Amino acid sequence: MIIGTLGPEGSYSEKAARQWDDKADLKFYDDIFDTVDALMRKEVDCSIVPIENSLEGSITLTLDLLMEHQLKITGEIIVRIKHCLLSKGKIEDIKVIMSHPQGLSQCRKFIKNNFKGIEIRSDLSTSHAAKLASESKEIAAIASGESARMYGLKILDENIQDVKENFTRFIVIGKTTPALTSNDKTSIIVYLEKNRPGALYEILGEFASRNIDLTKIESRPSKKALGDYVFYIDIKGHIEDKPIKETLSKIKSKVGMLKILGSYPAAK
Amino acid sequence: MIIGTLGPEGSYSEKAARQWDDKADLKFYDDIFDTVDALMRKEVDCSIVPIENSLEGSITLTLDLLMEHQLKITGEIIVRIKHCLLSKGKIEDIKVIMSHPQGLSQCRKFIKNNFKGIEIRSDLSTSHAAKLASESKEIAAIASGESARMYGLKILDENIQDVKENFTRFIVIGKTTPALTSNDKTSIIVYLEKNRPGALYEILGEFASRNIDLTKIESRPSKKALGDYVFYIDIKGHIEDKPIKETLSKIKSKVGMLKILGSYPAAK
């Protein structure tokens, strides 16, 4: 089993992959795009990428890739995120703070309160930022404690995200649909006809009338026009459940586009 | 009239502010946080900040500030975005590409296809990135054509965003509620009770049953737990319209929290 994920070592994505399958071989990629591409080029058996953080919200690139390509979600993993401020030097030496944009956003207040006016650089991953921090005392990275050990950095501060309870949900993208369990989720993307008032209400009604529980609904730009959206919807249940099958076929007849991203066991 | 907006000069925010009121005095701030803070400290009469882009989606910091503070949306402005690649030097000299994170995301494919592996730095604004690019041949900025003129840079490439049709919606944050016109919008934030299936459907039903048109619905993390959301909803009409007043008071009794952000004339 080869899993592709965001590297280098020490990333939260690595943590997610180990949590998913601690015996698998991991292959690390530079960014989410390459990680997903590796699966499409069959370099890996599945890929694990972040999709949503409890403070910052969706990882928009992941959502966009799910829209653009034929990908199947086969699982999800929830990882607790504890960001640390890492550096080779001391606090006074720091001239640049680097991290993945999500890391920077999740620690926005921390940076603003402690390092107002400092140079901020976004990097491809938190662990890559840690790797770069190991090359200069002037660079501090916002990354995991594991990254500190991995790249020989000091932990100058820990649990620095703006809200202590901080979780990221990762998805497993693979080839097969997992069999039905007692606790599944199904993810879909729906594009409604533009300018039809009440259309979203009607769609949600199909779920509500069958007591199907929505766990998430999120709008993203359709990229066609400002104010035109697609909806990413997660529901409880498996595509093989009769009510869900029924609902989705009903919805299909009412919308501009319905894309089924997959059914998979829900993370606890 | 003093308007606070994101600077320095040459920013898309400046363009929005001039579009809003070309006689006003502008005061420029480093970031969205400071721009909003200026209004709260009464340094300016209103502030203009970006809220949504047609390719990348919401400016999450703006949404979060609307949630955290007592702010009133008093208007909206739509600006066409045409990103340019700007530098003092030639394409071959470029070692770093800088922009606001939104600029970087909107040109993700352009960067990937033309500058794979190059160092990417996020900056506080596109125009600030342009200003920095004027200091070194090795830095290119993704910013507006106006920024090129402002900071003496060459336009190496133009209209480089991944989708040509690219618009950003800005909001005006002020103190007073504008009077009713024939084409208004009302923005609200709703927090449902957690784990109550069908709750969102019920809320949307209140609008649908009164033929109130939703122009936007977007979920953001409540920051309390993963999978717990608040909803940002825009509807057509003014809070002084009877059906809207009625609906909102009905909704208020059904939800954990209802925050009315304001009624204002819709941009054409």
| Choice among A120-129, B7-16, B31-40, B179-188 with the minimum mean pLDDT | A120-129
- Asked if B220 and A57 come within 8 Å (Cβ–Cβ), the reply is yes
Please say if the pLDDT value at position B195 is more than 80: no
Pairing of strands B2-6, B46-53: parallel
Domains of chain B: 2-80+167-174 (3.40.190.10), 84-158 (3.40.190.10), 184-265 (3.30.70.260)
pLDDT at position A225 is 87
**Is B110 noted as a catalytic residue in this protein?**
no
**Is B168 noted as a catalytic residue in this protein?**
yes
- Claim: this prediction has a pTM higher than 0.95: no
Q: Which residues of B touch A61 (CB under 8 A)?
A: 105, 108
Please say if the pLDDT value at position A213 is more than 80: yes
Q: Which residues of B touch A122 (CB under 8 A)?
A: 101, 104, 120-122
pLDDT at position A230 is 93
Please say if the pLDDT value at position A265 is more than 90: yes
The 3 state secondary structure assigned to B193-242 is CCCCCCHHHHHHHHHHHCCCCEEEEEEEECCCCCCCEEEEEEEECCCCCH
Catalytic choice (B168, B186, B231, B247): B168
Catalytic choice (B28, B115, B170, B231): B170
Work out the pLDDT band at B197, boundaries 50, 70, 90: low
pLDDT at position A197 is 67
Which whole number is the average pLDDT over A19-36? 96
* β partners of residue B82: none
Which whole number is the average pLDDT over B36-45? 97
Q: How many CB pairs under 8 A join A and B?
A: 111
Q: Which residues of A touch B124 (CB under 8 A)?
A: 120
